[in-house]
């Protein structure tokens, strides 16, 4: 299968590309700087201005591009978060419009930020009302941009990622204070964290790729979310560190501003669609997932 990916050089993209290439797919990675990368027998790096008629028939497109959420959310940073996702998605839609033979499936990255935050609601793919914060507004616009693929007759999936556990992303930031014996729950620790191991992120994207009956939103989260206080307790146990220090919410707000939504607030998200259709999680439980990240 010929598969085109945006964000293929990022954290999730690198893991996914490796898995796809290992299964004899050819991956075309869209990047703004193709000259900085070297093609292989399984991967080709192409620019966003690459002529569509110069590509072979593309069977699937996976959209993972977007500016990192990490960093202080100034107005400029928020604009970058928003436009990097929407503009790239729109560009990919335009490329698919130009293809004589349309891809079979378009998998567009999204986020559980769609749901907003809550300490007592349970969110599944049947939840249609979005949250009312910045991240929710970004995700709504992002999915609306991706939805245009449906009008082209392309099966379209929105993979709503939770907090991804791996060598990059949020987990190293969570581990650092604990390694320095300064880690612990944030605030009262009651906020939910809907996490997922990177292996299951890759597994679920591949699962969406191959299952023709899957479309619309898919929650890419493990089936057992944890409250912040429980997550930090398990993390401390895996790292062999104490878990005694509570970090005041006010301190988090002062240090990282609005980005606190990622760690000081939360939501309980369940992957009901994946479970209902028979996806088997590699790491359904937190301790095994965290131990796996330590052993890699």
The alpha carbon of residue 149 and the mean position of all alpha carbons in its chain are separated, in whole angstroms, by 20
C-beta separation of 125 from 114 below 8 A: no
Residues in contact with 80: Cβ distance below 8 Å, sequence separation at least 6, in sequence order: 67
Q: CA dihedral defined by 85, 90, 95, 100, rounded to 10 degrees?
A: 130
Phi and psi dihedrals of 254, rounded to 5? -70, -40
**pLDDT(58) > 90:** yes
C-beta separation of 206 from 19 below 8 A: yes
Give the burial class of 160: count Cβ atoms within 10 A of its Cβ; 0-12 exposed, 13-18 middle, 19 or more buried: buried
Compute the distance between CA of residue 60 and CA of residue 44 in angstroms, rounded to an integer.
15
Q: Which runs of E-coded beta strand occur in 128-269?
A: 155-161, 163-165, 192-193, 195-197, 216-220, 226-227, 268-269
| Torsion-angle region of 281 (φ positive above 0: left; ψ -120 to 50: alpha; else: beta) | beta
What value does the mean pLDDT take over residues 52-71? 91
What value does the mean pLDDT take over residues 198-225? 97
Report pLDDT digits (tens) over 105-154. Answer: 999 999 999 999 988 899 999 999 999 999 999 999 999 999 999 999 99
**pLDDT(45) > 80:** yes
Of 230, 221, 224, 274, which Cα lies nearest the Cα of 112?
221
Domain spanning 2-295: CATH superfamily: NAD(P)-binding Rossmann-like Domain (3.40.50.720)
Percent of the chain predicted with pLDDT > 70: 92
- 264 pLDDT band, cuts 50/70/90, is low
Q: Which runs of E-coded beta strand occur in 52-127?
A: 60-63, 105-111, 122-123
Of 48, 55, 65, which Cα lies nearest the Cα of 3?
55
Q: What is the pLDDT of residue 263?
A: 65
Q: CB-hemisphere CA count at 13 Å for 181?
A: 0
**pLDDT(243) > 70:** yes
First-to-final CA distance of the chain: 29
Q: What is the pLDDT of residue 132?
A: 92
What value does the mean pLDDT take over residues 71-98? 92
CA dist 101 to 52, 53, 216, 225, Å? Answer: 11, 11, 22, 41
């Amino acid at each position: 299968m010929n598969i085109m990916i945006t964000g293929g050089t990022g954290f999730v993209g690198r893991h996914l590309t490796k898995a796809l290439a290992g299964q004899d797919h050819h991956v075309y990675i869209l990047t703004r700087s193709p000259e900085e990368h070297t093609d292989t027998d399984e991967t080709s790096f192409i620019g966003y201005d690459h002529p569509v008629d110069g590509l072979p028939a593309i069977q699937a497109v996976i959209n993972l591009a977007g500016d990192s959420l990490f960093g202080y959310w100034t107005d400029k940073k928020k604009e970058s978060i928003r436009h990097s996702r929407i503009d790239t998605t729109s560009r990919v839609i335009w490329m698919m419009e130009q293809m004589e033979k349309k891809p079979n499936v378009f998998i567009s990255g999204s986020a559980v930020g769609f749901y907003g935050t809550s300490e007592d609601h349970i969110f599944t793919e049947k939840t249609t009302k979005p949250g009312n914060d910045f991240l929710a507004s970004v995700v709504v616009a992002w999915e609306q941009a991706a939805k245009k693929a449906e009008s082209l007759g392309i099966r379209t999936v929105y993979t709503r990622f939770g907090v991804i556990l791996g060598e990059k992303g949020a987990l190293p930031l969570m581990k650092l204070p604990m390694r320095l014996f300064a880690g612990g729950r944030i605030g009262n620790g009651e906020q939910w964290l809907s996490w997922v191991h990177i292996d299951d992120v890759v597994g679920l994207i591949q699962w969406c790729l191959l299952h023709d009956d899957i479309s619309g939103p898919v929650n890419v989260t493990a089936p057992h979310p944890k409250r912040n206080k429980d997550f930090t307790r398990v993390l401390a146990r895996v790292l062999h560190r104490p878990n005694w220090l509570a970090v005041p919410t006010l301190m988090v707000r002062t240090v990282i501003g609005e980005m606190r939504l990622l760690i000081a607030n939360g939501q309980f998200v369940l992957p009901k669609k994946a479970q209902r259709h028979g996806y088997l999680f590699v790491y359904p439980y937190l301790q095994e997932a965290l131990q796996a990240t330590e052993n890699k």
